[in-house]
Amino acid sequence: MTNIPETGRTSRVTIRLVVLQILVVSLLLTLGGRLWYLQIRNGDEYTAEAADNHIQQVVVPATRGSILDARGIPLADNQTRLVVSANRTDLMKMKDKGKRVLTRLAGVLGLKPEDVAAKVRLCDAKTPKPCWAGSPYQPIPITDGATTQQALQIRERAEDFPGITAEPMAVRRYAGPGGSNAAQVLGYLSPVTDDEITKAKDSRTPLMRSDQIGRNGLERQYDTELRGKAGVTRYEVDNLGRVIGKAKSDKAQPGSNIVTSIDARVQAIAERELDQAMKDARKEVDRNTGTTYKADAGAVVVMESKTGRVVAMASNPTYDPNVWVGGISARDYQALTGKDSDYPLLNRAIQGQAAPGSIFKVISATAAVNAGYSFTDKYNCSSSYSIGHQVFKNFESKGYGPIDLGRALEVSCDTVFYDLAYRQWQKDGGNNPKHPKDWFYRTAHQFGLGKPTGIDLPNEVRGRVPDRDWKKRYWEANKDTWCKQGENADKGDYAAQIAKENCESFARMRAGDSVNYSIGQGDTLVTPIQMATIYAAIANGGTLHDPTIGKAIISADGKRIERIEPKAHGTLPFDRKTRDQLDAALAGVATQGSAAWRFGGWPQKEIPMHAKTGTAEVAGKQTTSWFASYTKDFTIVMTISQGGTGSGASGPAVRNIYNALYGLDDKGHIDPKKALLPEPQAELPKIDKDGTIEAQHIDNPTPPARREEGQDE
């Protein structure tokens, strides 16, 4: 046994004591520092947080304002329904993430378990829709159509449905008065996202996690006014969650109501006529292809000529906006957005772009006059027009001999406009211009093309005027591809020859570009709302209005009324004489021109009608039908993609809408009692003292009988 010296043992004990003392002192210093940091350095912050931990908030959603038609008929309002919701936070605490609860819930509601599960999954870049785009801490609606029996089952068996609630709530309703739809005009709602809450935090209208906001149409355009402000009730609770008092509360402020210029009766007629016109077009054989027309999409706009207010706006294909209420199903979402859906969410009145065809000729006629050509001089309307080795044919190769510009508009003579555009192209320097006047392109911009009209709807598109600036940008973006494709031009490949020609064009404005452009063909793109704005301006003497749908914003109590007055954004570039000449020519189109066979028996003396037909050719597709028209009161523009001729496909529907407006029978006799809207409605609906807006009774309008006599355009 080894003996350890006493001095060594004492030394070791001393070292251990010193180390322990150092550790104790270090721990005391650390604790002291942390206490200083928590109580002094950040004491106020943590005190506030601790206080907040004793406050629980209960959010009371604001009642969303209604969207009403011009007579006070609800287009979108609220109704009480039994809503079943899931608290995702509670579900995620369960071992199986709430799978069994949701499966059990699906059985009670008569839904597929996978559909219920899809509604509570959170949206991200990898998650297919439908999914929950709102806050994960907000109750997620599973259905808003629960029956009383289903709600009772859930509430009476609460132990089987933890995290699930069933209670009456106010939900959005798209009423469809008189059989109208107006889906693309109204838009829809969906839950607010965390990003949107953050962005709106310091704004005048901050968002709550319980909010739903407009995603399209008027719901989005006037979301701030419609949404109101949610109420918040704050309760003081102890550490066990028991309420011990009530703190400061903010009352919910209901949203304002929006009165629109839409007339639900006219809207219903416009939708039905557009749909029927497309169905009828699909029965007609396209002589160019030997197959029936596809008529795959269309739009119609009915506008007040003097103000730009929109009375009706229809887009087809359409959908039921109520599918969004309470959360959209996977099946419905696929039907709205899938490749085979024809994209019904698209509002083709403001987002559908197409070559305008001959309804563009009012612009070309104005450009010719401004360039120095006389409206009344004679121009040769031959059956075809040749430039070099290229032949441009008149519509159906018809020729009318020497005629003035007015008659050229009446019979829609292409070759007159070819000649005028070619002459001006030569004056501008042809392929080597130095200081081109570009009257035809400049005039289109002055008519408002190539830019939004300013309508009070989101996501309006600009269209396109293919002027020299656009031509240059387009060539620079595509020249490399064209030049590569053009390498096979010598092998007889027609597509390669075209590519080579484009490659070597160096963005030149060629003669063919100019003559095609003069009749609304080539690279020109317009929207129905743009053309409606233009024809309304011709009707009213030249004022281009911002098209408007909103007419007034009325607070829930009726005490604040903010009228939305029509605004002008420009005037058409013609003098009174040219305007009157155009006006007379367009009246001639309806009485003795290309649209006359659609307006047989029309009371021209009592209600002067003006019209212009258009049949636009589209590469690789069937022709696009256009019909633009106006009276002193209303302007109507309709288009049908792959629908055939202007007067053939769209003409009957436009005539029927006018018949409904003015109360005409199929022989042209006016019956004031049957007239839906013989003149624009200027006054707002009556508002009661309590803020209630009185709605006038609406009958289910029946479209007039169609006229079938006549011939094709």
Q: What is the DSSP letter of 670?
A: B
Q: How many CB atoms neighbour CB 434 within 10 A?
A: 6
User: What does the domain layout of the chain look like in residue ranges?
Assistant: 77-174, 264-322+348-357+525-550+570-674, 372-436+466-518
Residues whose CB falls within 8 Å of the CB of residue 683, separated by 6 or more in sequence, listed in order = none
CATH superfamily of 264-322+348-357+525-550+570-674: DD-peptidase/beta-lactamase superfamily (3.40.710.10)
Report whether 702 contacts 676 (CB < 8 A). no
Query: What is the pLDDT of the chain when averaged over all its residues?
Result: 89
Structure tokens at 679: 């003149």
For 593-615, letters b (16+ CB in 10 Å) and e give bbbbbbbeebeeeebbbbbbbbb
- What is the pLDDT, as a whole number, of residue 493? 80
Alpha carbon of 211 to those of 81, 122, 206: distances in Å?
17, 17, 10
C-alpha 412/C-alpha 593 separation (Å) is 8
C-alpha 103/C-alpha 458 separation (Å) is 39
Structure tokens at 334: 């696929």
How many alpha carbons fall within 13 Å on the CB side of residue 483? 10
Q: How many CB atoms neighbour CB 22 within 10 A?
A: 10
- What is the pLDDT, as a whole number, of residue 53? 54
Report whether 639 contacts 282 (CB < 8 A). no
C-alpha 451/C-alpha 657 separation (Å) is 28
**Bridge pairing between strands 164-174 and 212-214:** unpaired
Report whether 534 contacts 366 (CB < 8 A). no
Positions of the chain with pLDDT lower than 50, given as ranges: 707-713
**Omega cis (within 30) before 130:** yes
Q: Which residue has 């809503």 as its token pair?
A: 83
Structure tokens at 143: 């259905």
Q: How many CB atoms neighbour CB 642 within 10 A?
A: 22
Write the single-letter amino acid at 386. Answer: S
Residues 355-392 have pLDDT tens digits of 999 999 999 999 999 999 999 999 999 999 999 888 99
Q: What is the DSSP letter of 270?
A: H
Q: Is 19 exposed, middle or buried (0-12, 13-18, 19+ CB in 10 A)?
A: exposed
Alpha carbon of 626 to those of 158, 370, 672: distances in Å?
60, 26, 29
H-type helices in 37-139, by residue range?
A: 43-52, 88-92, 99-109, 113-120
Residues 668-683 have pLDDT tens digits of 899 999 999 999 999 9
Residues 513-572 have pLDDT tens digits of 999 999 999 999 999 999 999 999 999 999 999 999 999 999 999 999 999 999 999 999
Q: How many CB atoms neighbour CB 373 within 10 A?
A: 17
Report whether 266 contacts 312 (CB < 8 A). yes
- What is the pLDDT, as a whole number, of residue 711? 38
Report whether 530 contacts 623 (CB < 8 A). no
Report whether 561 contacts 610 (CB < 8 A). no
Q: What is the DSSP letter of 260?
A: E
- What is the pLDDT, as a whole number, of residue 609? 98
Q: Which residue has 């132990």 as its token pair?
A: 159
Of how many residues is the chain composed? Answer: 713
Structure tokens at 165: 């609630």
C-alpha 166/C-alpha 496 separation (Å) is 65
- What is the pLDDT, as a whole number, of residue 675? 96
Q: What is the DSSP letter of 328?
A: -
**Bridge pairing between strands 74-86 and 67-68:** antiparallel
Structure tokens at 352: 């559908």
